[in-house]
Amino acid sequence: MNTLISVAIAPFGVGDELSSYVNDIIGVIEESGLTYKTTAMGTEIEGEWSDVMNTVQKAIQTLTDKGIRAYVSLNADIRPGHTNTIETKLQKLSHKLEG
């Protein structure tokens, strides 16, 4: 079942500079082989539900295994019969905005 999520995973209580923690999280997502896009506010990941959720769990564990509290915000779009929605949703919107 194809799943597109938007997720933000952030460490809590480690100061103001979070980039090294975020880098570790993105490394886990990249290693998963799933399609993803990172923005300033979160990351979109697309794939089969179990693969996506397993990747999110591993990404969270990069913090919790170090005893760091993790804040997670996640939205999911589950659309059977569709793939590559990470690209096609934006293409459809762009086409409508141009027209």
Tell me the domain boundaries of the chain: 2-98
Instruction: Give residue-wise pLDDT tens across range 2-42.
Output: 999 999 999 999 988 999 999 999 999 999 999 999 999 99
Q: Is the pTM of this model over 0.95?
A: no
The CA distance from 93 to 71, in Å, is 30
Q: CATH fold of 2-98, please?
A: Alpha-Beta Plaits (3.30.70)
Euclidean distance between CA atoms 60 and 72, whole angstroms: 8
